Structure 1
Amino acid sequence: MHRFFPHPILALILAGIWLLLVNSIHPGQIVLGLLLGWMIPLLTTQFWPEAVRIYKPFHLLHFVGIILIDIIQANFTVARLVLGRPDRLQPAFISMPLILKSDLAISFLANVITLTPGTVSARLSHDRCHLLVHALDVTNTEELANTIKSRYEKPLKEIFEKC
């Protein structure tokens, strides 16, 4: 079964993304979304570096909700900063130590940081123990690192890594 349906959760996520992209829940689009959701993971399985294990799937759903809320709030914050007084911005790079070990979890963290307006993950150290993050406006670098660790890294550790 796993051979013909390698990533069932990813298949559903891809089907959902397809429906959002086409902005339709027409039965034909649902079938096409499910077909794409099945075929893409099936055809790309050989390129996955490790088997995807989600240890707490309900935590993943909660985490996605947190990300969506953070993206919306960050959009308003960045708009206010840029349209307000851009000369008062305090951009900064921070080197954030990582507790994550899984390549997938680290990749997820880097992407979540980049998806959130105002922050960009810039570089992963060669030993995979530090992530360089650029932020648009930072008054306290330790506070930003602690926020990223508590809101994103800790839940990702619970979701993708066996504790």
Structure 2
Amino acid sequence: MRRLLAPLIRHPLAVLSLTLLWLLLQVSLAPAQILLGLILAWVVTGVSSRYWADRRRPRRPHLLALYLWRVAVDVVIANLRIAALVLTPSRQPRPAFVELPLALEEPFARYILAITITLSPGSLSADLSDDRRVLLLHLLDAPEPADADMECAKIKNRYEHLLLEVFG
């Protein structure tokens, strides 16, 4: 019985989130839909949880709020920059690939950094080296190598440094 309930016990938030998503998609709070949503969420969580990355608890979780604030502000600013780039016909984007050396040891922290970079318009995490020490980025507009270096320094100072503090 315990093995049957394992997904619900180990990942209650995932089961609850998937159930709520199911109910939103069905636009119904009928008991049958709630039960079906719970069953589907339980099955999906049970089958997929073995593929989830192991993650440690943050050592300083209060800094995650600061991290999320920084990401939100930077996403808004990046949206404005990309909109200006797109709406200025005389200025053509000059894309570039850049290697970002990583100081992060924690796999989950590297994952968060890669997702953060991808969420920000104009940048994309393209690849992680085999030794997990270098993240390959695609920048939409990096006219000069110095601009790419500046972007890497910004990522390291604003995001990686804070993730190092959170996950130690």
TM-score range, shorter chain: 0.7 to 0.9
Residues 1:6 and 2:10 aligned together? yes
Q: 1:11-53, CA deviations, whole angstroms, 9 ceiling, x for partnerless residues?
A: 89x58x96xxx6xxxxx6xxx7xx79x9576664322232431
Cα pair distance change 1:112/1:54, threshold 3 Å? same
Equivalents in 1 of 2:15, 2:62: separation in Å?
Answer: 17
**Unmatched 5+ stretches in structure 2:** 1-5
Residues 1:84 and 2:88 aligned together? yes
Cα pair distance change 1:86/1:153, threshold 3 Å? farther
Residues 1:147 and 2:151 aligned together? no
Equivalents in 2 of 1:111, 1:55: separation in Å?
Answer: 20
Letter aligned with residue 59 of structure 2: Y
Q: Determine which structure has more spread, i.e. the larger CA radius of gyration.
A: 2
**Unmatched 5+ stretches in structure 1:** 23-27
Count residues in correspondence.
155
Query: Does the CA contact (< 8 Å) of 1:5 and 1:42 recur in 2?
Result: no
Deviation at 1:63, TM superposition (A): 0.9
Letter aligned with residue 74 of structure 1: A
Cα pair distance change 1:127/1:120, threshold 3 Å? same
The two structures, once aligned, show a CA RMSD in angstroms of 3.6
TM-score norm. by structure 1 comes to: 0.73
Cα pair distance change 1:107/1:46, threshold 3 Å? same
SS state of the match for residue 121, structure 2? coil
Higher mean C-alpha deviation, range 146-155 or range 46-55: 46-55
Residues 1:108 and 2:133 aligned together? no
- Candidates 33, 47, 52, aligned match of 1:48: 52
Q: Which runs of 4+ in 1 moved over 2 A?
A: 3-12, 38-49, 85-90
- Residue equivalent to 1:59: 63
Cα pair distance change 1:73/1:126, threshold 3 Å? same
Query: Does the CA contact (< 8 Å) of 1:110 and 1:121 recur in 2?
Result: yes
Letter aligned with residue 59 of structure 1: L
SS state of the match for residue 94, structure 2? coil
SS state of the match for residue 88, structure 1? coil
